[in-house]
Amino acid sequence: MPYRRLPKTDQARIRALRAAVESSVDNGVFTNVLSHNTYYRAKNMLENLSREVGVYKRCVQEQSSKRGNEAYEAALKKARMYVSHFIQVLSMSIMRGEIARSKRPYYGLPENEDTVPNLFSESAVLEWGLKIMEGERRRQAEGGVPIYNPTMGRVSVVFELFKEMYDRQQMLQQRTGDALHNISDMRFEADEIIFEAWAEIEKAFAGFEGKARIKKCAEYGVIYYERPDRKSKKEL
């Protein structure tokens, strides 16, 4: 005798809920197979779970988009290059005596070193981009001559483009995490609703026998499997 088994994936939960909800209304008339309470619980869960799964999928797809990743990596590479070049030009200007060495701390740089900070990570590019923009603003506010090639204006444009893309990536990661958390919170209740709905569906068609009963219940989304001791374990 086949047995029923609750869905194991979120997509399977959505399919089970949708079948129960959509089959419960025939040409605008409620079939009474499900109680009104179970029907509306299933309908609300279907809408909420479908929405969160959709949000999760869209966010993951956008984050993993090859085109999006290529554009992001190009923006990061360019921002890293401009930040690095600006710091190098600052150091050369100090060596030539055009800028006082005491101004290096304005940029968050050690006064007595001429090395370029490690810009390997995204966070480092963001940190030093902000530092050199603030340092250049402060030095010019004191009457200092602007650094050229690259100018801070050009550095700022490149940096802000990268920062905008970085912030979007962070937002997508946050939304992905939130959606996944919401989905996880819904699973237990979704399974509970499906279990109750299937019990009501089987009760409604208890008068049918054998395959006819299984077929009617399956129309409302009940999933049946053959017993594992049988050769065939296909879903009916």
pLDDT tens profile 148-207:
999 999 999 999 999 999 999 999 999 999 999 999 999 999 999 999 999 999 999 999
Q: Give the span between the Cα atoms of 197 and 44, in whole angstroms.
A: 13
Q: What is the pTM of this model?
A: 0.75
How confident is the model over 201-227, as a mean pLDDT? 89
Q: Give the span between the Cα atoms of 53 and 201, in whole angstroms.
A: 26
What percentage of the chain reaches a pLDDT higher than 90?
81
pLDDT given for residue 109 in this prediction? 96
Residue 233 has pLDDT above 50, yes or no: no
How confident is the model over 71-77, as a mean pLDDT? 94
What percent of the chain is helix, strand and coil (3-state, nearest 5)? 70, 5, 25
Its sign, for the CA torsion 89, 95, 99, 104, is positive
Residue 234 has pLDDT above 80, yes or no: no
Distance between first and last Cα of the chain: 11
The token pair at 87 is 């710091």
CB 34 within 8 A of CB 42: yes
pLDDT given for residue 235 in this prediction? 43
Q: Which helix (H) or strand (E) holds 147?
A: none
Residue 232 has pLDDT above 60, yes or no: no
Residue 131 has pLDDT above 60, yes or no: yes
Round the average pLDDT of the chain to a whole number and report it. 92
Residue 231 has pLDDT above 60, yes or no: no
> Any bridge partners for residue 202, and if so which?
none
| Distances from the Cα of 146 to the Cα of 136, 213, 227, angstroms | 8, 83, 79
Residue with the larger pLDDT of the pair 231 and 41:
41
Q: Give the span between the Cα atoms of 145 and 54, in whole angstroms.
A: 53
How confident is the model over 2-16, as a mean pLDDT? 91
pLDDT given for residue 229 in this prediction? 61
